[in-house]
Structure 1
Amino acid sequence: MSENAASDFETQPLREFTERAYLDYSMYVILDRALPHVSDGLKPVQRRIVYAMSELGLSAAAKYKKSARTVGDVLGKYHPHGDAACYEAMVHMAQPFTYRYPLIDGQGNWGSPDDPKSFAAMRYTEARLTPYARVLLNELGQGTVEWIPNFDGALQEPERLPARLPNVLLNGGSGIAVGMATDIPPHNLREVVDACVHLLDRPEATTAELCEHVPAPDFPTASDVITPREELRTIYERGHGTVRARARWEYEREQAQIVIHALPYQVAGAKVMEQIAAQIQSRKLPMVEDLRDESDHDAPVRIVVQLRSRRQDPERVMDHLFATTDLERGYRVHLNVIGLDGRPRVFSLRDLLAEWLSFRTETVRRRLTWRLEKVEDRLHILEGLLTAYLNIDEVIAIIREEDEPKPVLMERFGLSDAQAEAILELRLRHLARLEEMKIRGEQGDLERERDELRATLGDAARLREQVKSELLGDAEAHGDERRSPLVQRGPARAMDETELMPSEPVTVVLSEKGWVRAAKGHEVDATGLSYKAGDGYLDHALGRSNQPAIFLDSTGRAYAVPAHTLPSARSQGEPLTKRLTPPEKARFQSVLAGDSESRWLLASDAGYGFRVPLRELFSRNRSGKAVLTLPDGAAVLPPVTVPAEADGAEVVVASSDGRLLVFPLEELPEMARGKGNKLIGIPAQRLRDREEVVVAVAVLPAGAALRVEAGKTGKRLSHSDLEAFRAARGRRGVQLPRGLRQIRGLHVEN
């Protein structure tokens, strides 16, 4: 290669080249693609679409034109990128469920909330600008913004649009650049304007004060904003956080149906239907009978969740759906915007509004300055025209006689070049006396306007009032009521597995060897089931499939197993040790089931016991929880259910010495765990030597009779027969007649 050819190339290290190239690319993506500018809240492609449509004359009063025409102009004149991406950006600005205040009025298929990307091709749709778009364009030709060459230098385009409202907050936006992103939720126009006015009146106002005017984002869909006010204030102070929105619904009691009539922002009804239907099909929503989509033109969102009966709690069902579906959704907030200095940064609400007001104030100043120059130029022309009318004959003579009348006029009447040119361009019809009067009238109006403009530009307070009055006027023209109410709601909580299971009667059966199974229904003969060789029936309990079964072992520990997970009674079950880890040499002795608020009496054969709610026996631990504390050498007695109506109920305690004690149930305390209180007074020495222990315990409802099983016989003792055995808790008790002292059990009879 020759030396001249080599000099045409620049040589540099690859590391430096890639670093610079990546940095250039990063800055291009950040500044010219992904992040909005604080002035008009638009990205370059959005700004070029709006400007191109205004150049095509597509105002809100114009006829619609094909979207392909707009996209062609944008790509050909200002934005040489892909037509699909450009059209999609145009579609987003036309979707009322995407933009809080759409900039484009679309005709045709522009997508739906269920599928925002289902819009028709640009050759089929038509568009024009909305009335709201005027706030971005009205002041464009009034010296308010800088103009820059387009990509090929053939045309000029505005660097920014002179937004009359803080569109950066009103419509929000999202974007991902290199190393940074932005997520700005939409807000209510009137609320934001009120905050701007407050900041104009009180420049020292804090974000907390502004949050009184802008309490939360205002989404296009009428969903509830459930983030607490304190948390929202923190988000606006820091410029980042998460806002949660929740669907709105109502309960129609007569039909036992939940009607969802507003979905969170950017949530598709079809997706929610799919999520709920999946839970119904997998039997995770047993309380829901049917799901229907009754949405139509009059009710754009109407999703009906049909409950099985009016006994179901709609609040609990919706709480579960909020936790498990898109009916509740969180939205990331990151107020990352390109500031007036051309640098992106995260703004607080106050700083963002202050930055925009600075832009708006300067824009109004430039507009008024431009107008003042126009007024002064016109007054200058009118002054020359008036001179001509006052000397009309001499002016006409000069024009008729001179080959070059312009310099003669300038010298004779002291006119400027512009004034002389205006006189020479006058038509004969304008030489009438009436025109002189019109000029004087226009001159007076313009002089008053000039004085007003000078006074406004020379007084910062008047300029602020000008900005404020224009903001309030635009708020009146384009503002509306808040759509997303700010409501106080607790966090959503999904139902646990037991709540979601159908509530069916089951009988839980425990064998002597610790094998367990569950049979449907309460009419099961547990003793008649088949058992493995060497095994047999031990205990059973009646419960429901959505309740846990509680097992009590010989050490006084309690274990909980969901009843619906137990094997069917058609088989011989499975050992509990497969699911639980009891202490070494411990044996499972009893099974309990029922409502969590039911009460049971737990006792040891040492003569101690207490009442306990069943819920206190629940444990998710494989090793269970210690409930009944046993004295040395003592054993656990079978638990006894306590009647729901405890008034007048009595506890019956029988010892191996044939003694019986009856005392009021209310004398026995309710505890969560422990040894309990003394039930019957057995001498300590006899208890230590195991010469006498408690063999049975029963709880008698008020007025009930007792059957004592002893030896091979038994005897029924009526309520009055028990009078001889009644005493205070902890007493020695009274011995039964000789034939009833070998007590095997106590049973309650009506």
Structure 2
Amino acid sequence: MESLPIRQFAERAYLDYAMYVVLDRALPHIGDGLKPVQRRIVYAMSELGLGPGAKPKKAARTVGDVLGKYHPHGDAACYEAMVLMAQPFSCRYPLIDGQGNWGSPDDPKSFAAMRYTEARLTPYARLLLEELGQGTTDWVPNFDGTLEEPAVLPARVPNVLLNGTTGIAVGMATDIPPHNLREVVAACLLLLERPEASIEEIMARLPGPDFPTEAEIVTPREELARIYETGSGTLRARARWEQDGAEIVITALPYQVSGARVLEQIAREMQAKRLPMVEDLRDESDHENPTRLVLTLRSRRVDAEAVMAHLFATTDLERSYRVNLNLIGLDGRPGVRPLPELLLEWLDFRRATVRRRLEHRLGRVRERLHVLEGLRIAYLHIDEVIEIIRREDEPKPVLMARFGLTDAQAEAILELRLRHLARLEEMRLRAEQDALEAERETIEAVLGSEARLSALVAEELTADAERHGDARRSPIVERRPARALDPRALVPSEPVTVVLSRKGWVRAARGHEVDPEALAYRAGDGFLAAARGRSSDVAVFLDSTGRVYAVPAHVLPSARGQGEPLSGRVSPPDGARFLSVLMGPEEQAVLLACDAGFGFIARLGALQPRQRGGRAVLALPEGASPLPAVPLADVEADLVVAASSDGRLLAFPAAELPRMARGKGQRILALPRGGAARMVAVAAVGPGRILRVHCGRRHLRLGFADLEPYLGPRGRRGRALPRGFQRVERLEVV
């Protein structure tokens, strides 16, 4: 008994398992395009006599033979593999003709139990089995060594591309999309003639995959070429639809997409009020129209293209498929292959298969000619042959010695029946000999010339494509990328006032005439800030850490109640307080400043982060706090007015401040070093507006012209306010 360290044993066992999964479970062989379980199912059905013209037998009979003779694994997995080869919506060219419930596109796994369903092979499956008994493949022992099974089926067409496959192995996977038989054969004929053909020339005959459904492939040609050049990538398929008056009719779904699932997704969009222009949704699919999903629009004026673009972006009406041309090659090793390399390697397999078939047939022809030569000798000396057979106890050695026959020739003479001694039979043998001589010469000529061998392969491929091929189902078209509808464009644009309380509760009141301070607030709470805008705008909130948050105004609760905590819609840091709220167009200029005397101007559209945690935009010096954000009406005409806690006021043109997306900004107001003075308020005053300087119960009114004495360069200390107005609490513009 061998003894190994546990580490070495585990490593060896895992590698053995990984290679088994790769080679015997998950990846297809380039020759027949089948995984082992698929190959065993097809072979077992042929051994049971379940050809295209045979009477179907229970699927359980096939599964039982497969498990008992070739594939000692679970019956459920084996039956599911059999089902996939029978479903016309899963397999581009089904190998199995199933009778009974074999699943539906809405639920591919709704098939009946194998004791109820029946199956036989399809005519297409003949392309994998026709040459099986002609010396074209190697035979290997089954799992218990009592039987033999083919290592690879001698496929006459590149089934690995035609039906495609998916599989997950250890450390690798395969995703090969299905293709059209006639197009693949056309590409093969091109490579037989010119193996060095470029990818552009190949794609002129094989433009892309061809799924079982009639959905459109919308991947650009350049991306398809890149996929075929590298052997991996992603392609997109999109449902087909048409407009009928005020209705949108979806007539084809992408591959492996359920119509019921799509209906659920569209209904969810309607419930979320992201499709207000869609009035009704129904499924009119039947036997005549396997896919017919109808969307009723509210009017004929609705842009159906925009509605479908939204659905393509938000539902499975458009789906991406991974492509990974990973398979087991002729060398027995897995690998990802570009399309030209894959087709050339399959053509090598096909040439080798045809060569083996011809060599096998040539051996049979030579054996028959050898026997016929002996029979001719017997006919020429028929009387003597009969006399030897009647006289001798062991006639075979006597015949061999008398006429120079071989053992096979003598055995054939001895097995002749009396009725075959007629003159007519001799003429038939001569005709057969002449025909076989001609066949031998033809086969030897083909085997002696690579050009003739390739021509024979091309001829057979063409005949098979004509017999089993069909038109392309999935059109390849250029389409604009799908784009979801802007949620704000779906919201009615009505005037609203967003109100923020001191404790961070928020609500939205209809109209601009509402008095925010007169609203009812919770006990211990009160008015903090308000912003007027439209219901289609985004409300931007600034907190005490310098972070901003964005919430669509239309999702905020009504002002009929007391609102809801803003922290339920955004995620501020612990201990942060909300300071102000802003609304307006994205180009609206906003002044952001801190009490350390620094600030800058930002665009409102740049202050709308998508994440709940917001975004830090105002860099704060140590110990500094933000001031409420201030909107500017006109950066070129407005004056920025800043007040300090030591009673000074400075005004300067807003255009002197930098425009930034984030940062600390530049100095607005100079503060004495080492002192406790801070910038307590900042405002933007335009022509015709009045500034109120609130100092306790008193306030000072300053018109635009009255600010001239306080004008100065940005970053200065400013001028002292009149006595009695030096304890500034806030600045208000009216």
Q: TM-score range by the shorter chain?
A: 0.7 to 0.9
Counterpart residue number, 1:281: 271
Counterpart residue number, 2:389: 399
Contact 1:32 1:44 in 2 (8 A): yes
1:2-55 deviation line (CA, Å, top 9, x unaligned): xxxxxxx32221111111111111111111111111111111111010000000
Worse-matched range after superposition: 284-293 or 55-64: 284-293
2:530, 2:168 → 1: CA distance? 65
Tell me if 1:628 matches 2:654: no
Contact 2:494 2:536 in 1 (8 A): no
Give runs of aligned pairs for residues 559-638 of structure 1, distance below 5 A: 562-570=552-560, 620-621=607-608, 628-631=634-637, 633=639
Contact 1:508 1:516 in 2 (8 A): no
Worse-matched range after superposition: 120-129 or 25-34: 25-34
1:591, 1:83 → 2: CA distance? 64
Structure 2, unmatched stretches of 5+, are 542-548, 573-578, 589-602, 609-616, 618-628, 642-658, 660-685, 690-734
AA matched with 2:370: H
CA drift of 1:570 comes to 3.0
Counterpart pick for 2:26 among 24, 30, 34: 34
Counterpart residue number, 1:260: 250
1:317-336 deviation line (CA, Å, top 9, x unaligned): 11111111111111111111
Tell me if 1:90 matches 2:106: no
1:360-415 deviation line (CA, Å, top 9, x unaligned): 00000000011111111111111111221222222222212222221222222222
1:426, 1:51 → 2: CA distance? 36
Change in CA separation of 1:224 and 1:587 when aligned onto 2, cut-off 3 Å: closer
Change in CA separation of 1:506 and 1:52 when aligned onto 2, cut-off 3 Å: same
1:123, 1:250 → 2: CA distance? 42
CA drift of 1:342 comes to 0.7
Counterpart pick for 1:361 among 351, 357, 377: 351
Contact 1:36 1:338 in 2 (8 A): yes
Counterpart residue number, 1:655: none
Counterpart residue number, 1:76: 68
1:132-174 deviation line (CA, Å, top 9, x unaligned): 0001000000000011111111111111100000111111111
Counterpart residue number, 1:652: none
AA matched with 2:9: F
Change in CA separation of 1:195 and 1:530 when aligned onto 2, cut-off 3 Å: same
Counterpart residue number, 1:416: 406
TM-score, length basis structure 2: 0.75
Change in CA separation of 1:148 and 1:532 when aligned onto 2, cut-off 3 Å: closer
Q: Which secondary structure state, in structure 2, belongs to the residue aligned with residue 211 of structure 1? A: helix
1:28-85 deviation line (CA, Å, top 9, x unaligned): 1111111111111111111010000000000001000000110111111111111111
Counterpart residue number, 1:441: 431
2:640, 2:46 → 1: CA distance? 93
Change in CA separation of 1:576 and 1:204 when aligned onto 2, cut-off 3 Å: closer
2:566, 2:446 → 1: CA distance? 88
Change in CA separation of 1:229 and 1:507 when aligned onto 2, cut-off 3 Å: same
Counterpart pick for 2:365 among 375, 381, 386: 375
AA matched with 1:232: L
Tell me if 1:242 matches 2:234: yes
Counterpart residue number, 1:294: 284
Tell me if 1:126 matches 2:118: yes
Give runs of aligned pairs for residues 420-569 of structure 1, distance below 5 A: 420-501=410-491, 503=492, 505-506=494-495, 508=497, 531=519, 545-546=535-536, 562-569=552-559
Tell me if 1:315 matches 2:305: yes
1:181, 1:51 → 2: CA distance? 25
1:114-139 deviation line (CA, Å, top 9, x unaligned): 11111111000000000000010000
1:680-709 deviation line (CA, Å, top 9, x unaligned): xxxxxxxxxxxxx9549xxxxxxxxxxxxx
1:588-630 deviation line (CA, Å, top 9, x unaligned): 9x9879xx99xx9xxxxxxxxxxxxxxx975644968866225
Counterpart pick for 1:180 among 169, 172, 176: 172
Counterpart residue number, 2:326: 336
Contact 2:103 2:111 in 1 (8 A): yes
Counterpart residue number, 1:707: none
1:471, 1:339 → 2: CA distance? 21
Counterpart residue number, 1:142: 134
2:29, 2:222 → 1: CA distance? 28
Change in CA separation of 1:375 and 1:565 when aligned onto 2, cut-off 3 Å: same
2:182, 2:429 → 1: CA distance? 42
Change in CA separation of 1:317 and 1:401 when aligned onto 2, cut-off 3 Å: same
Aligned-CA RMSD value: 3.8
1:165-201 deviation line (CA, Å, top 9, x unaligned): 0111111111111111111111111111111111110
CA drift of 1:525 comes to 6.5
2:428, 2:583 → 1: CA distance? 107
Contact 1:173 1:185 in 2 (8 A): yes
1:14, 1:482 → 2: CA distance? 56
Tell me if 1:214 matches 2:214: no
CA drift of 1:500 comes to 3.7
Tell me if 1:304 matches 2:294: yes
Contact 1:541 1:591 in 2 (8 A): yes
Contact 2:131 2:154 in 1 (8 A): yes
Change in CA separation of 1:376 and 1:627 when aligned onto 2, cut-off 3 Å: farther
Contact 1:242 1:331 in 2 (8 A): yes
Give runs of aligned pairs for residues 147-166 of structure 1, distance below 5 A: 147-166=139-158
AA matched with 1:116: P
2:420, 2:196 → 1: CA distance? 56
Q: Which secondary structure state, in structure 2, belongs to the residue aligned with residue 475 of structure 1? A: helix
CA drift of 1:211 comes to 2.1
Counterpart pick for 1:198 among 170, 187, 190: 190
CA drift of 1:499 comes to 2.7
Change in CA separation of 1:567 and 1:104 when aligned onto 2, cut-off 3 Å: closer
Counterpart residue number, 2:98: 106
CA drift of 1:541 comes to 7.4
Contact 2:516 2:530 in 1 (8 A): no
Contact 1:33 1:43 in 2 (8 A): yes
Contact 1:272 1:326 in 2 (8 A): yes
Q: Which secondary structure state, in structure 2, belongs to the residue aligned with residue 154 of structure 1? A: coil
AA matched with 1:424: L
2:630, 2:285 → 1: CA distance? 51
2:488, 2:295 → 1: CA distance? 21
Q: How many residues align?
A: 604
Change in CA separation of 1:297 and 1:128 when aligned onto 2, cut-off 3 Å: same
1:512, 1:116 → 2: CA distance? 55
Change in CA separation of 1:40 and 1:509 when aligned onto 2, cut-off 3 Å: closer
2:562, 2:143 → 1: CA distance? 82
Q: Which secondary structure state, in structure 2, belongs to the residue aligned with residue 59 of structure 1? A: coil
